[in-house]
Chains A and B, each alone.
Chain A
Amino acid sequence: MKVTLKWLKDFIDIDLSPEELAEKLTNSGNEVEEIIYQDRYLKNVVVGKILEIEKHPNADKLVVCKVDIGEITQIVTAATNIKVGDKVPVSLPGANLANGIHIEKSKLRGVESIGMFCSIEELGVTDYDGEANGIMILDDDAVVGEPIAKALLMDDVIFDINVTANRPDCMSIIGIAREISALTKKPLKKQDLYYEPCNDDDIANYIDVIVENEELCPRYMACAVKDIKIEKSPKWLRARLVSVGIKPINNIVDITNYVLVEYGQPMHVFDYKYLEGKKIIVRPARNGEHILALNHNEYNLDDSNLCVCDAVKPVVIAGIIGGMNSCVESTTTTTIFESACFDRASIRRTSRKIGVRTDSTARFEKGVDCSLQPLGMERALNLIYQLKAGKIVKGKIDTIKEQPKDKTLTFSLSKIYKLLGIEIPKNDVIDILNNLGIKSSIQNDELTCIVPYFRQDIERYSDIAEEIIRIYGYSVYDKIDAKPLSGTSVTIGKHDKVLYLARSLKKQLCSYGFYECVNFSICSIDDRDKLLINPNDKLYNMIKIANPISEDIGYLRTTMANSMFNTVAYNLSRKNSDFRLFEVGRVYLPNELPLKQLPEEINILSFCSVYKNDDFFVFKGIIENLLRDFDLPYYLEYSTKSYLHSGMSADIIDRRTNTCIGSFGKVHPKVIENFDLAQNTYYGELNLDILTNCPEKKHSIQTISKFPYVDRDLAIVCDESVTISEILQCVKKSCGKFYHSAKVFDIYRGAELNNKKSVAFSIKLESKDKTLTDEEINQIINKILKDLEFKLKAVLR
């Protein structure tokens, strides 16, 4: 919200520099986002009067002007909209104009020119009238030689303030002035809101106001002004509105906007002749009603939209925008002024629904309190009187039944001190609160505050504590150095199990060369098809965001795979190769769509490699190592995941529950194509929630045999269909009690083997109570070979 230094000075004496004032406001919670000097482009620009215009001796399109700027000087220009006697802005050497031009004395085609005449754009002035064309022609009352900033009333300083949502009362000049009063300990100036009504007429002759729902409209005030002459507002009023970014329209509309900025009370004004039935009815719109608004858009209304209506039709969407059907125009002679209070939630809903935000909604949706309407009305009528814009009809309509009262609250001062951790001197407490308009007194430990009605945000001791400390200054804490948390009870810290487990697995993956990535958990629904997920799959049901900022991130992921594949593809497209990535994140599985209850959120570790030497068995090894710490018997099955290669991937199945705790393997060739992955892309995922609930593996250490074990290597040839697992199980069984271990160290496939494979493995045999003899060993080996041949048709190579 914008306020100006001059406007503030109508309410309070300020002897701080703009920068000092801004700092004080920021440090008390009203953050000044920008200080704008209105004359920033107007330095060294003055009012000049054109005395003579002559042809340029050397150029057809240029003229040479004699100009009075307090002294007579010469300007060469190409402008065509000027004539002798015009007053124009003259930029002199040293001027830096809004369009970046720096002015210096120069010669144009051999003729000296002291400076330049300026257009409205060059001065950075907003052209609200739309009349600008060429050089700006000033009003005749402009004083020759005077700085242009003064002539245009553009010598103010504007503060753009970020008012927080709890302080609707600060959405006005008076509100900010009140804050400055507390900050500088200076009183607010008394305002004179005098006007003279004409006593020969009465508001009762004009209009009757009916409010159907007082909750939605707690207060509605109306006054009538007759014999109006619609005209341009005086220069000072227009300049004020322009300085805060509001377009001047005519005297009557400008008055309503002036009051809005100054007091924060949005006003509306009707042309009386268009109000049918001499009635104003505040009611919800009827379904099917519509209104052509002042922004020239037609809005269809329903019973959720509060409207101000006459006896027949809606004339305003309450608190948001007026209708063309009753607006003030050049022929208006009699008007009704509205100063009302509307429910903020209702205004907010309607404003969102129809997509219209105005200066009025900006105030109403933050909360205009119902003590403000009389003040707004008084000020509007006072301005009518000052501007002699019309005759004020005696009497006001006011629908409020009981005047809002300030509330008196008492607090324990020691409780406030306890919350702040420091004691602020009592006289400072009183000064701060009084200057904020909160009349306060202290007796012993009791702080009594009369909280003005406009401070709806103050209810509890913590609210008062904040008022005190923000004005007193938080810098008081800068020097305080205390032991951390010394005022709190001793508590034992505890990690979150899932995060802690994830951290350990992540570190292991790092040591295998994987880098962690962080992907968005929201994605495009197209990913579902790219992953070949079919409608019967649980992963098919993605939760849709109702108001996405883009369709690319309009759904919640049901698997980590698409996030990972997109990131891998991005890296490949950036010419990165041979890398490994992992991510810990969540997937979101709804129980039903549309969502009625919260979805299941599952923590997953996913990892992926496009490293040239990685394959299924590298991933298998990683999985084995990652799972080794858990008491988790599992087996592998060919994976059913749609995005994995059906013959080169596995699901990891918990033997006890038969549930899948993860999957890994080569990515499905079609998926590789769909995401533009590398041919050797391998992917794996583990369900961290299941793993978190797995107990840690318990160990029971066996005694080590005193007798050395015996190593024997064997190579057998068997069909491809015989699995390594079958071979090793067979070997184990054959060894009986002498079995220590068996490990495959080579698998060979060659043409000479006729589509069979050769498997070489080493066996360790051991006895706990003796050294095995050669004879015993040979017996075991023979049994192994016999069993392999009998069960698996495998023969010694």
Chain B
Amino acid sequence: MVEQINQMRAEANGKIDACTNLKSLNDIRVEYLGKQGKLTNLLHSMKDINKEDRPKVGQLINLAREEIENKLKNLQIKLNEKVLEEKMSKEKIDITEPSKIIEKGEIHPLHKVFDKLIDACVAMGFTVITGPEVEYDYYNFEALNVPKDHPARDMQDTFFITDNILLRSQTSSVQVRAMQSMKPPFKIVSPGRTYRADSDATHSPVFHQFEGLVVDENVSMIDLKSMLTELLKMLFGENTQIRFRPSYFPFTEPSVEVDATCPSCAGKGCRLCKNTGYMELLGAGMVNPKVLEMSGIDSNKYSGFAFGPGVDRLAMVVNKIPDLRMMFENDIKFLEQMK
């Protein structure tokens, strides 16, 4: 009997090891553990065995049964997994097929730069304000120390609507409105659209500026430098350095042109920066005390600085846009490149 059991065990184990699918697994189960199964039958024939041998044989049969059951269970888990694997492998798709959701559009490169500048300045404590594009001569020129028939008017060709109303040629007009309505200390920036009667490869009659103005006690050129360094680093990278060159604007004194190390060659000199290592990016300066006074701010107590980059140019440098005109033609083939 014992021998018979061991033989059956070995036989069953061999079959289980050889089994590769769920159907034969089931057959094996029925063959040994079913109602008429071989092992079940052995159990039934226990009554023919000596009483004293029964517990030992019984234990042996139960052990054999447990072993076969466990083996079958493990095999079943394995085979189930295999079936699932096969199913999934049949369902495999080509993941390089195109996506089905609407493809996202993009913000125009000009406004990407605007948004960056605005966010950086708000974080530095600036209030964003806007002003009218159709503006009185007074705000665009006179209150900025450029009286009628002043030679500085030649610095920009202005579109006029009437003798007294024009299309603002600079966002500096918002400076005046801010100075007349806000009490120092304040920091403002004003992004917006500006106009000049100028149209060629590097000038657009409609363009964009980002005016900044800080009025406070103790403002110095060092504040101007550190602020602009921070702003340009944000746009062009941590290694950006800036330098001042003297310039003239009627509303600032001293006035400077601000150059930044060329982001393309990091200051080594390349085609984009005409081998100078620097790019001329914006005008800036300390607010002319005359301008403060004209807007009713005590120039003995307060000083200020102002800056005004052309944002179109910044967007071109940041995105390496080869031609200004592309910015306003709005060819989808151009806009899509902002993906």
A residues neighboring B (CB under 8 Å): 26-29, 164-168, 344-346, 348-349, 365-367, 418-422, 459-463, 465-466, 469-470, 474-475, 477-478, 480-496, 498-499, 503, 506-507, 509-522, 543-550, 553, 556, 567, 570-571, 574, 576, 579-582, 585-586, 588, 594-596, 598-599, 601
Q: Which residues of A contact B128 (CB under 8 A)?
A: 494-496, 499
Task: Kindly name the residue among A348, A493, A513, A580 whose own CB sees the greatest number of chain B CB atoms within 10 A.
Answer: A493
Q: Which residues of A contact B336 (CB under 8 A)?
A: 515
Check if B247 sits within 8 Å of A29, measured CB to CB: yes
Query: A112 to B149, alpha carbons, bound, how many Å?
Result: 65
Query: A345 to B151, alpha carbons, bound, how many Å?
Result: 8
Query: A167 to B247, alpha carbons, bound, how many Å?
Result: 11
Interface: B56 (CB within 8 A): no
Q: Which residues of A contact B122 (CB under 8 A)?
A: 493-495
Residue in B closest to A512 when the chains form the complex, CB atoms: B102
Check if B161 sits within 8 Å of A165, measured CB to CB: no
Query: A558 to B122, alpha carbons, bound, how many Å?
Result: 32
Check if B227 sits within 8 Å of A579, measured CB to CB: no
Scan B208-229; emit 1 where CB is below 8 A from any A CB, else 0.
0000001011111111011101
Check if A598 sits within 8 Å of B135, measured CB to CB: yes
Residue in B closest to A566 when the chains form the complex, CB atoms: B330
Residue in A closest to B255 when the chains form the complex, CB atoms: A466
Known contacts being A164-B247, A494-B128, A543-B161, is A474 close to B256, with CB within 8 Å?
A: yes
Check if B205 sits within 8 Å of A496, measured CB to CB: no
Check if B126 sits within 8 Å of A487, measured CB to CB: no
Query: A487 to B122, alpha carbons, bound, how many Å?
Result: 17
Residue in B closest to A465 when the chains form the complex, CB atoms: B254
17 extra interface residue pairs, beta carbon distance < 8 Å, beyond A166-B248, A462-B253, A510-B104:
A27-B246, A419-B221, A474-B256, A475-B243, A477-B222, A494-B128, A506-B107, A515-B105, A516-B106, A518-B328, A519-B330, A520-B206, A520-B328, A521-B133, A545-B160, A595-B161, A598-B132
B window 117-172: CB within 8 A of A: 118, 121-130, 132-136, 148-152, 154-155, 159-162, 165, 167
Query: A495 to B120, alpha carbons, bound, how many Å?
Result: 11
Query: A749 to B218, alpha carbons, bound, how many Å?
Result: 76
Q: How many B residues touch A, CB cutoff 8 Å? A: 91
Q: Which residues of B contact A481 (CB under 8 A)?
A: 226, 229
Check if B243 sits within 8 Å of A477, measured CB to CB: yes
Query: A285 to B116, alpha carbons, bound, how many Å?
Result: 57
Q: Which residues of A contact B329 (CB under 8 A)?
A: 570
Whole-angstrom distance between the Cβ of A409 and the nearest chain B Cβ: 14
Query: A596 to B164, alpha carbons, bound, how many Å?
Result: 9
Residue in B closest to A467 when the chains form the complex, CB atoms: B254
**In-complex Cβ contact of A470 among B152, B167, B246, B328 (8 A):** B246
The number of inter-chain residue pairs (CB within 8 angstroms) is 274
Check if A517 sits within 8 Å of B246, measured CB to CB: no
Check if A485 sits within 8 Å of B254, measured CB to CB: no
Q: Which residues of B contact A546 (CB under 8 A)?
A: 159-162
Some 17 contacts from A to B, beta carbons below 8 A apart, are A165-B154, A419-B303, A421-B225, A470-B246, A483-B226, A491-B186, A499-B128, A516-B111, A517-B335, A518-B110, A543-B161, A549-B205, A567-B330, A576-B333, A581-B335, A594-B162, A599-B134
Task: Kindly name the residue among B107, B133, B330 whose own CB sees the greatest number of chain A CB atoms within 10 A.
Answer: B330
Check if B159 sits within 8 Å of A474, measured CB to CB: no
Known contacts being A487-B218, A547-B159, is A518 close to B327, with CB within 8 Å?
A: yes
Check if A545 sits within 8 Å of B220, measured CB to CB: no
Query: A510 to B327, alpha carbons, bound, how many Å?
Result: 18
Q: Which residues of A contact B108 (CB under 8 A)?
A: 515-518
Query: A126 to B110, alpha carbons, bound, how many Å?
Result: 46
**In-complex Cβ contact of B105 among A165, A489, A516, A548 (8 A):** A516
Check if B254 sits within 8 Å of A466, measured CB to CB: yes
Check if B332 sits within 8 Å of A576, measured CB to CB: yes
Check if A166 sits within 8 Å of B136, measured CB to CB: no
Residue in A closest to B129 when the chains form the complex, CB atoms: A496
Whole-angstrom distance between the Cβ of A629 and the nearest chain B Cβ: 19
Check if B105 sits within 8 Å of A509, measured CB to CB: yes
Interface: B92 (CB within 8 A): no
Known contacts being A418-B218, A496-B128, is A366 close to B151, with CB within 8 Å?
A: yes
B window 297-339: CB within 8 A of A: 303, 327-333, 335-336, 338
Residue in A closest to B160 when the chains form the complex, CB atoms: A546
Whole-angstrom distance between the Cβ of B249 and the nearest chain A Cβ: 9
Whole-angstrom distance between the Cβ of B157 and the nearest chain A Cβ: 8
Whole-angstrom distance between the Cβ of A20 and the nearest chain B Cβ: 16
Check if B245 sits within 8 Å of A27, measured CB to CB: yes
**In-complex Cβ contact of B134 among A422, A461, A490, A588 (8 A):** A588
Check if A574 sits within 8 Å of B331, measured CB to CB: yes
Check if A571 sits within 8 Å of B332, measured CB to CB: yes
Check if A487 sits within 8 Å of B223, measured CB to CB: yes
Q: Which residues of B contact A365 (CB under 8 A)?
A: 151
Query: A462 to B305, alpha carbons, bound, how many Å?
Result: 12
Query: A506 to B337, alpha carbons, bound, how many Å?
Result: 18
Check if B134 sits within 8 Å of A601, measured CB to CB: yes
Query: A513 to B125, alpha carbons, bound, how many Å?
Result: 34
Check if B115 sits within 8 Å of A165, measured CB to CB: no
Query: A514 to B111, alpha carbons, bound, how many Å?
Result: 15
Check if A420 sits within 8 Å of B220, measured CB to CB: yes
Known contacts being A462-B288, A498-B130, A574-B331, is A491 close to B102, with CB within 8 Å?
A: no
Q: Which residues of A contact B105 (CB under 8 A)?
A: 509-516, 580, 582
Interface: B63 (CB within 8 A): no
Query: A546 to B137, alpha carbons, bound, how many Å?
Result: 14
Check if B253 sits within 8 Å of A463, measured CB to CB: yes
Q: Which residues of B contact A461 (CB under 8 A)?
A: 289
Whole-angstrom distance between the Cβ of A587 and the nearest chain B Cβ: 11
Check if A460 sits within 8 Å of B330, measured CB to CB: no
Residue in A closest to B208 when the chains form the complex, CB atoms: A518
Query: A515 to B111, alpha carbons, bound, how many Å?
Result: 12
Known contacts being A29-B248, A491-B186, A493-B125, is A516 close to B107, with CB within 8 Å?
A: yes
Interface: B193 (CB within 8 A): yes
Check if A601 sits within 8 Å of B149, measured CB to CB: no
Query: A594 to B254, alpha carbons, bound, how many Å?
Result: 39
Interface: B286 (CB within 8 A): yes
Q: Which residues of B contact A164 (CB under 8 A)?
A: 247-248
Query: A390 to B71, alpha carbons, bound, how many Å?
Result: 132
Q: Which residues of B contact A495 (CB under 8 A)?
A: 118, 122, 128
Check if B197 sits within 8 Å of A549, measured CB to CB: yes
Interface: B230 (CB within 8 A): yes
Residue in A closest to B216 when the chains form the complex, CB atoms: A488
Check if B227 sits within 8 Å of A484, measured CB to CB: yes
Q: Which residues of B contact A366 (CB under 8 A)?
A: 151
Check if A419 sits within 8 Å of B220, measured CB to CB: yes
Query: A585 to B185, alpha carbons, bound, how many Å?
Result: 31
Whole-angstrom distance between the Cβ of B253 and the nearest chain A Cβ: 4
Interface: B191 (CB within 8 A): yes
Known contacts being A422-B222, A576-B331, A595-B165, is A166 close to B250, with CB within 8 Å?
A: yes
Whole-angstrom distance between the Cβ of B317 and the nearest chain A Cβ: 17
Check if A480 sits within 8 Å of B253, measured CB to CB: no
Interface: B236 (CB within 8 A): no
Interface: B32 (CB within 8 A): no
Query: A588 to B104, alpha carbons, bound, how many Å?
Result: 31
Residue in B closest to A601 when the chains form the complex, CB atoms: B132
Q: Which residues of B contact A487 (CB under 8 A)?
A: 216, 218-220, 222-223
Check if A516 sits within 8 Å of B245, measured CB to CB: no
Query: A515 to B107, alpha carbons, bound, how many Å?
Result: 6
Known contacts being A478-B241, A510-B104, is A517 close to B206, with CB within 8 Å?
A: no
Scan B238-273; emit 1 where CB is below 8 A from any A CB, else 0.
000101111110100111100000000000000000
Query: A490 to B186, alpha carbons, bound, how many Å?
Result: 9
Residue in A closest to B304 when the chains form the complex, CB atoms: A488
Q: Which residues of A contact B335 (CB under 8 A)?
A: 515-517, 581
Interface: B199 (CB within 8 A): yes
Interface: B103 (CB within 8 A): yes
Query: A168 to B214, alpha carbons, bound, how many Å?
Result: 30
Whole-angstrom distance between the Cβ of B283 and the nearest chain A Cβ: 12
Q: Which residues of A contact B247 (CB under 8 A)?
A: 29, 164
Check if B223 sits within 8 Å of A345, measured CB to CB: no
